[in-house]
Amino acid sequence: MSLRNVAIIAHVDHGKTTLVDQLFRQSGTFRDNQRVEERAMDSNDLEKERGITILAKCTSVEWHGTHINIVDTPGHADFGAEVERILSMVDGVILLVDAAEGPMPQTKFVTGKALALGLKPIVVVNKIDRPDGRPAEVLDEVFELFLSLEANDEQLDFPTLYASGRAGYAGRSDDVRSGDLSPLFETIVDHIGAPDADPDGPFKMLATLLDRDNFVGRVLTGRIASGKLKINMPIKAIDDEGKIVEEGRATKIMAFRGLERVPVDEAGAGDIVAIAGLTKATVSNSIVEPAVTEPLHAQKIDPPTLAMTFTVNDSPMAGREGSKVTSRMIRDRLEREAEGNVSFKITESAEKDSFEVAGRGELQLGVLIETMRREGFELTISRPRVLFRDGPEGREEPYEQVVVDVDDEYSGTVVEKMAQRKAEMTDMRPSGGGKTRITFSGPSRGLIGYHGEFLSDTRGTGIMNRMFERYGPHKGKIEGRQNGVLISNGSGETVTYALGPLEQRGILMVGSGEPVYEGMIIGENAKPEDLEVNPMKSKQLTNFRASGGKDDAIRLTPPKRLTLEQAIAYIADDELVEVTPKSIRLRKRHLDPHERKKASRQKDTA
């Protein structure tokens, strides 16, 4: 049986996972009467909620005697390390672009990686049935993108298909509105060659993905570069310098059949398989037979650009909602995460019971924190900060390319806000339908927490996409939050009688009858300075009756509840987010007011 390995790359929400579902259905991977979840590939709870692909997944379909391994890759640049490794397993890519939106920043990010590896592209213009589709212009934009990414002549001579993933058809002209996905299957078989692997050489495989299985333990996935792997065969893992990491046996070999991993007795060169039996080997190690000493080349990974401090929850409410609260549990969990995700770097911080976690972006770190809180962890999280480095001309910081699509009326506000964040506009053009597409280049530091404000400024209609661009010169001070906060001056339960007058001071983040503690942030002050308040002050009980109906019930405005990402972006340097399985609370780093004043004085004199 012939073999093809292909990855699907696309921008977030361009229909990649939906198209893969249709490939499954039409190749007979799913029975007609089988109940399959919509978007079967996005299996993780967070993926379903956010509507994005976070983890790369391998699947396969059979088409007229050809076994096609399909890898669904994340479209978001924060998960770029995942994408870079995945591309080393395939021989070609299907680039999926929306017929209306065209190529977007993350399309550019992943496509650039694919073209640099010399992979052959197939371009699929998806959602061809959209009423605002502009397929001819989108195809020109793709060609321009390939030219800007220095594609070679063979890559520029790409086949183009027009499709509707949801309706399940594809064709070679842009007026196609019916049929099935046969043209796509045929193009994959004809255009993307069989894997360039040596069936007669010694066994070699580069570990690309790592996960754990409750029954067989550590599972490493990768493509066999040469030779054959048989069950119980002796193997060893070597690092990129050729040093032995460990030796063992292939206790289980699993191949991909549809969405399942199926045990097989042997696998040959070019196939993508998962192996169990090693306990220390990790991503980017070469898995080889004992006689081999030369490692396989592993793809270089972009450095982390953002770091946060994860600390044990030490608030007065610690341990009430979570089951995993010790620093040992947090350390083990973070080390396990870094093992499978090479873009994370975990180090012990100088502070007691705290860990420095460096990653590629806010979304990636936010997903990790959300996953941990669902597993029962309690943590306190610091404000994200960018990682600087020393360059030839002094201190350098990470820059991002930001592409926004906004209604024309909001473009002025967005340009002004981005300028405040030290971003420079590099391009501005109409994108049809009364919208403008603006491209900026600016320091990551200024963009932390801007997304929520951007949505408010554009009344929820704007689309923003960010991508790591380069390290550049330090841009100096960037103004942070303008307002101070309201801080509880004691512990207890909030009272409506006390919250009523506090509403005039600013925006409350707690409602009536909620537990609070000293040093906890309960709202945003209307003025720039912080204000300590008493949200538990109750009415004095006397025998005197108020005149004129003053005792009427106080009606409170519903409190402003921040999501995890909003909370992380909102806090200042002297504040923390307390994260538990049930609650997200904001607090001052120093709960005691005297400690706060002391720390503030030390900062001023430093």
Boundary (domain end) residue, out of 163, 191, 219:
191
> Is there a binding annotation on residue 127?
yes
- pLDDT, the chain, mean: 84
Distance CA(491)–CA(477), nearest Å, equals 36
Please indicate, yes or no, if residue 364 is contained in any of the structural domains. no
Residue 485 C-alpha from the chain's centroid: 30
Residue 39: predicted pLDDT? 39
Please indicate, yes or no, if residue 333 is contained in any of the structural domains. no
| CA angle centred on 188, ends 184 and 190, rounded to 5° | 115
Contacts of 606 (CB under 8 A, 6+ apart): none
Closest alpha carbon to 346 in 311, 307, 381:
307
Contacts of 411 (CB under 8 A, 6+ apart): 428, 436, 438
Boundary (domain end) residue, out of 256, 272, 288:
288
pTM, full prediction? 0.72
Please indicate, yes or no, if residue 299 is contained in any of the structural domains. no
Same domain? For 26 and 173 the reply is: yes
Please indicate, yes or no, if residue 356 is contained in any of the structural domains. no
> Is there a binding annotation on residue 391?
no
Q: Domain range holding 447?
A: 389-473
Residue 82: predicted pLDDT? 61
Distance CA(312)–CA(315), nearest Å, equals 9
> Is there a binding annotation on residue 217?
no
Domain count, the chain: 4
Distance CA(149)–CA(357), nearest Å, equals 32
Please indicate, yes or no, if residue 334 is contained in any of the structural domains. no
pLDDT band at 544 (very low <50, low <70, confident <90, very high): low
> Is there a binding annotation on residue 15?
yes
Residue 606: predicted pLDDT? 63
Closest alpha carbon to 135 in 160, 159, 116:
160
pLDDT cut 90: percent of the chain above it? 34
Strands (E), 331-462: 345-348, 354-359, 379-381, 385-386, 389-391, 394-407, 424-432, 435-443
Same domain? For 253 and 129 the reply is: no
Same domain? For 25 and 134 the reply is: yes
> 554 versus 263: which is more confidently predicted?
263
Please indicate, yes or no, if residue 156 is contained in any of the structural domains. yes
Same domain? For 37 and 182 the reply is: yes
The lowest-confidence range among 114-128, 216-230, 291-305 is 291-305
> Is there a binding annotation on residue 126?
yes
Distance CA(44)–CA(592), nearest Å, equals 41
Same domain? For 39 and 145 the reply is: yes
CATH number of the domain encompassing residue 230:
2.40.30.10
pLDDT band at 331 (very low <50, low <70, confident <90, very high): very high
Q: Residue 507 — φ and ψ, nearest 5°?
A: -105, 125
Strands (E), 73-133: 92-98, 120-126
Pairing of strands 272-276, 345-348: unpaired
Give 104: exposed, middle or buried? Use CB within 10 Å, 0-12, 13-18, 19+: buried
Residue range 5-18, pLDDT digits in tens: 998 887 767 777 78
Residue 1: predicted pLDDT? 67
Residue 165: predicted pLDDT? 84
> Is there a binding annotation on residue 128?
yes
Residue range 563-588, pLDDT digits in tens: 888 888 888 889 999 999 999 999 99
Please indicate, yes or no, if residue 535 is contained in any of the structural domains. yes
The lowest-confidence range among 35-44, 238-247, 249-258 is 35-44
Same domain? For 14 and 136 the reply is: yes
Same domain? For 148 and 253 the reply is: no
CATH number of the domain encompassing residue 569:
2.40.50.250
Arithmetic mean of pLDDT, 394-420 = 89
Same domain? For 105 and 125 the reply is: yes
Same domain? For 40 and 153 the reply is: yes
Same domain? For 152 and 58 the reply is: yes
Q: Look at the block and give the residue holding tokens 């059979």.
A: 62
Same domain? For 21 and 137 the reply is: yes
> Is there a binding annotation on residue 180?
no
Contacts of 80 (CB under 8 A, 6+ apart): 109, 110, 113, 302, 343, 360, 468
> Is there a binding annotation on residue 381?
no
Boundary (domain end) residue, out of 288, 314, 337:
288
Please indicate, yes or no, if residue 307 is contained in any of the structural domains. no
Same domain? For 465 and 508 the reply is: no
